Amino acid sequence: MESSSAVCFECPPQKSVDLVRPPAKSRRPTRKNVSMDIISRRYGILSKDAGTLLRKNMKMLRQIILQDTTHFTKVWTRHSKSPIAYESGRIYFENYRCCYSSIPSKPQYLYELPKGTKAEKLEDALLCQCPLSESLPKPSDQNPCLLALAANNWLYRFSIKTGEQLQKVYLSPHHKFRYLGWDVSQETFYIKSVQTKRAPLARQTGVDQSTLLYLAVFKVVPLELVSVLEINRKVFGSTVLDVILSQGVLAVSHSSKVVKLYSFENIVQKHMTKKLVLGQQCEWRGVWGTIGEPPFGIPVNISISDDIPVLFEVSCFNNGIQIGGNPWHYIFTPNNKWHQGTHHVCSLQDGSLAKNGIQDMKCCSLESDWIYFHPDDSGRIIHVGPSTVNVLRIKTQECSSQSEVVQEFSITAHRVNNTASKDSVTSSGRIVKRRYHQLDDDPEQETFRVVEYEDELDLLAVVEVTNTEEEGKAHVCLHDNKTGMFKKKVPLVESWDVTYSHELFFDLDTIVHIEQKKNKQFCCHVYKITCRQPD
């Protein structure tokens, strides 16, 4: 269950009146190649605006990457017995204990945290960037850091450059916290505990087991506690399954296939019992302790005793709902068998279905298609199937309040006719012709596996996989994000086994491919751009 990023409510700027007399003859816009741009930058013939300089640099890098003389070459491979993670130029091994930088021409070792016990194992992490708009009291707060959650309920802040421990907070001696997630990226994050299961013996003895899990919410840089919330079945319903926090909205899913959304800000304002500050002394239920230090930890300071208003409620298949678009819309699959395999785009204001709002790939495949709001904050929608990628836009009709979903462009895999014939001969010698249909994600056909967006280059990277001679061959096809026009194809050297999980990251001049192999082994491949002289 995911939610989209923010929607811009600003009106487009009006055109100013040009009082300058227009030239007698229109001039054609001049184009400079990359070499001229680099020479201009060398001599300082560029705007002093940092944003203009950055856009110019990204435009030059895009031109270099898309040139025919530029290739992506595999420069590094590393294996691991534990899962591998990648985030913003950092590759993490051994449960975030060992870190490499992918920014140099070959990944470079940065640091390795000291080995600890099983209880000190890092289970989840988030990369936190420093804010540029404000100065912070501590110099260490101005640098990016890694927020890491250990198995023994300690939350750490590590420097991403040296691995130095900057801060640590003890969460609780009673609740087992395990998962980290962003509420608002780089602003607010939450820590979720494991779920408590109802024991049959406890039900018989009348022991109260209404608590499902706990949420601890923090602001980042500097680290500041917001609140700790208990998700109670008596408050949110006996059928509650799970919760997440996104964009200030608490989304609660139920076993009855219903998703309910609540305002987290409203919950904090009305139900907080006491404001808690990390590092300060506090008296809680007759016990004194320091907030964020053992054995006191952080008490649960939100107590909900009455019903809380529901912002939005919808019945959907697999408890999956996404909110985004411009104007606000949501995507879901209705909870009935007739609509399974389809995705409905509806207005968040009144719940009305958009015109052409039922998106159906009508594909016959082992793996289902997937749909989500475009991460470029344009309000568009990306719908990915085995052989098709559709980029859709939500339009508002002038004569009606109803919105409409229109296709901006489509990317299609290169395929042969998927209808094959196979003849058989009966005992009497009569030939019987039979026809059968292949699956849309048949491994012998070119199939889309990953769609990645590179925001700084404004490119879509689509991974196409084809099995040949019992080996999967993968290519990363680069397309223009605005038009979908094909720009470049990058072959991957290693084989792509579709029976195991894969992750691919396209980050400026770097492609990182993380794959799971047999016997729970993992492998990381790194590609960098290389340029050769034209023939």
Q: pLDDT tens-digit profile of 348-403? A: 888 899 999 999 988 776 778 899 999 998 999 999 998 899 999 999 877 777 89
Contact criterion met (CB below 8 Å) for 149 and 137: no
For residues 58-76, average pLDDT = 93
**pLDDT value of residue 49:** 59
> Per-residue confidence at 9, pLDDT binned at 50, 70, 90?
very low
Cα separation, 278 vs 292, in Å, equals 6
- From the list 323, 361, 371, 320, the residue with the least C-alpha distance to 341 is 361
- From the list 102, 145, 111, 123, the residue with the least C-alpha distance to 514 is 102
Q: pLDDT tens-digit profile of 223-270? A: 999 999 999 999 999 899 999 999 899 999 999 999 999 999 999 999
- From the list 1, 3, 7, the residue with the least C-alpha distance to 377 is 7
State both tokens at 332.
């879901």
pTM of the model: 0.83
Q: pLDDT tens-digit profile of 73-117? A: 999 999 999 999 999 899 999 999 999 999 999 999 999 999 888
Per-state percent for the chain, helix, strand, coil, to nearest 5: 10, 45, 45
Cα separation, 132 vs 359, in Å, equals 41
- Tell me the percentage of the chain whose pLDDT exceeds 70: 81
Cα separation, 437 vs 447, in Å, equals 16
Contact criterion met (CB below 8 Å) for 320 and 327: no
Identify each DSSP E strand in 220-311 by its residue range. 224-232, 240-246, 249-254, 258-263, 281-284, 287-290
Contact criterion met (CB below 8 Å) for 81 and 522: yes
For residues 393-416, average pLDDT = 86
Helices 34-42, 50-66: inter-axial angle, 10-degree rounding: 150
**Neighbour-count burial of 323, counting CB atoms closer than 10 A to its CB (0-12 exposed, 13-18 middle, 19+ buried):** buried
Is 338's pLDDT higher than 50?
yes
**pLDDT value of residue 149:** 96
Cα separation, 13 vs 6, in Å, equals 19
**pLDDT value of residue 20:** 40
Is 435's pLDDT higher than 70?
no
Is 147's pLDDT higher than 70?
yes
Contact criterion met (CB below 8 Å) for 90 and 101: yes
Of the listed ranges 139-148, 297-306, 341-350, the least confidently predicted one is 139-148
- From the list 116, 247, 150, 239, the residue with the least C-alpha distance to 190 is 247
- From the list 344, 355, 342, the residue with the least C-alpha distance to 394 is 355
Cα separation, 278 vs 226, in Å, equals 10
Contact criterion met (CB below 8 Å) for 450 and 515: no
CA 517 to each of CA 79, 81, 366, 502, 522: distance values in angstroms, whole numbers, following the listed order:
10, 10, 21, 9, 6
- The answer for 441, left when phi > 0, alpha when psi is -120 to 50, beta otherwise, is alpha
**Neighbour-count burial of 68, counting CB atoms closer than 10 A to its CB (0-12 exposed, 13-18 middle, 19+ buried):** exposed
**pLDDT value of residue 441:** 55
More confident residue, 478 or 55: 478
* H helix intervals, 382-501: none
State both tokens at 333.
């699959």
Average pLDDT, whole number, for the chain? Answer: 84
Q: pLDDT tens-digit profile of 12-41? A: 333 333 334 344 444 454 555 656 666 566
Q: pLDDT tens-digit profile of 281-323? A: 988 888 899 999 999 999 999 998 888 999 999 999 887 899 9
Return the half-sphere exposure (C-beta side, CA atoms, 13 A cut-off) of residue 11: 3
Torsion, Cα of 166, 228, 258, 306 (10° steps): -170
**pLDDT value of residue 401:** 77
**pLDDT value of residue 36:** 61
Q: pLDDT tens-digit profile of 459-494? A: 999 999 988 777 889 999 999 999 999 999 999 999
What does DSSP say about strands 70-80 and 521-531: parallel, antiparallel, or unpaired? antiparallel
Is 208's pLDDT higher than 70?
no
Query: Residue 45 has what DSSP assignment?
Result: -
**pLDDT value of residue 472:** 87
